Amino acid sequence: MIHVHLATATVDIELTGWSRLWAFKCHLSFPRDAIHRVYRRPKEMRPPWFRLPGTYVPLILAAGTYRAYQQKEFWYTRFTPDCLVFELSNGPYTRVVVDTDRAGQLMAKLS
């Protein structure tokens, strides 16, 4: 399970249970001012081709760190409609893609 918390200066993402195992990560944090854009994941969007470390089962689960050319992305999605994409600048990741049951609320708070 994924929990997204909005603090005053940061966005904290906590992975619990089996999510930690699939993504090889338990916590992720990035500054709110590093967010360039937030939107729902388009249905055709897929993770980059190189995964290290992580888990990928086509159209079922994408979890972990993915890389392509100049990009480093973190994904944890079961390809549900309630999936947010955070495009970032000046951070360790260029994009963070996570499922959340509060996608609409989070987008409203961040815009």
pLDDT in tens, 2-39: 899 998 899 999 999 998 889 889 999 999 999 999 99
* Structural domain includes residue 63: yes
Quick check: is 44 in a domain? yes
Report the run of H or E that residue 107 belongs to, with start and end: helix 103-110
Q: Given a cut of 80, is residue 57 above it in pLDDT?
A: yes
The reported pLDDT for the residue numbered 28 is 92
Answer yes or no: is 78 within a domain.
Answer: yes
Q: Is residue 1 part of a domain?
A: no
Q: How many domains does the chain have?
A: 1
The pLDDT tens digits for 64-98 are 999 988 889 999 999 988 899 999 998 889 999 99
> 1 pLDDT exceeds 80?
no
Angstrom CA distances, 11 to 7, 8, 45, stand at 6, 8, 22
Answer yes or no: is 85 within a domain. Answer: yes
Domain of 38? 34-110
Evaluate if residue 111 carries a pLDDT over 80: no
